[in-house]
Amino acid sequence: MFDNALFIGFPYVAVAIAIVVSIYRFWFDPYSYSSQSSQFLESRVLFFGSVPWHYGIIIILLGHITALLFPGLWGLFTANQTRLYILEIVGLSLALMATVGLVLLLYRRMANARAHAVTSEMDWILLFVLLLQVGLGFWVAYYYRWGSDWYLHTAVPWLLSLLKFQPNIASVSALPFWVKFHFVGGFVIILLLPFTRLVHLLAYPFSYLWREHQIVIWNRSRMN
Closest contact distance (angstroms) between CB of 214 and ligand HEM is 34
Contact 92, 147 (CB under 8 A): no
83-102: contacts with ligand HEM (CB under 6 A): 88, 91-92, 95, 98
At its nearest, how many Å lie between ligand HEM and the CB of residue 223?
Answer: 51
Find the DSSP H helices in 144-219: 147-150, 155-163, 177-192
Region from 28-36, 161-169, 183-191, 197-205 binding ligand HEM, contact rule CB under 6 A:
183-191
Per CB under 6 A, 186 contacts ligand HEM = yes
Least distance from C-beta 60 to ligand HEM, angstroms? 5
- Taking CB atoms, the residue at the shortest distance from ligand HEM is 147
In the bound state with ligand HEM, the residue whose beta carbon lies nearer, of 112 and 187, is 187
Footprint on residues 14-73 left by ligand HEM (CB under 6 A): 57, 60, 64
Q: Give CA 24 to chain center in angstroms.
A: 22
Polymer length of the chain = 224
For ligand HEM, the closer CB: 112 or 140 = 140
* C-alpha pair distances (Å), 165 with each of 8, 54, 149, 161, 168: 10, 32, 25, 6, 9
Q: Which amino acid is at 97?
A: M
> Going by C-beta distance under 8 Å and a sequence separation of 6 or more, which residues neighbour residue 120?
none
Q: Compose the 118-147 pattern: x for residues touching ligand HEM by CB under 6 A, - for all others.
A: ------------x--xx--xx-xx-----x
Q: For residue 181, count CB atoms less than 10 angstroms from its CB and return exposed for 0-12, middle for 13-18, buried for 19 or more.
A: middle
Report, in Å, the least distance between residue 102 CB and ligand HEM. Answer: 9
* Biggest alpha carbon–alpha carbon distance for the chain: 77
Q: Which is nearer to ligand HEM, 115 or 134 (CB)?
A: 134
Choice between 8 and 92, CB closer to ligand HEM: 92
Long-range contacts for 84-90 (Cβ within 8 Å, ≥24 apart)? 84/146, 84/148, 84/149, 87/148, 88/141, 88/145, 88/146, 88/147, 88/148
Query: Among residues 109 and 137, whose Cβ is nearest to ligand HEM?
Result: 137
Question: In Å, how far from its chain's centre is CA 23?
Answer: 20
Q: Where do contacts with ligand HEM occur on this chain (CB under 6 A)?
A: 57, 60, 64, 88, 91-92, 95, 98, 130, 133-134, 137-138, 140-141, 147-148, 151, 155, 182-183, 186, 189
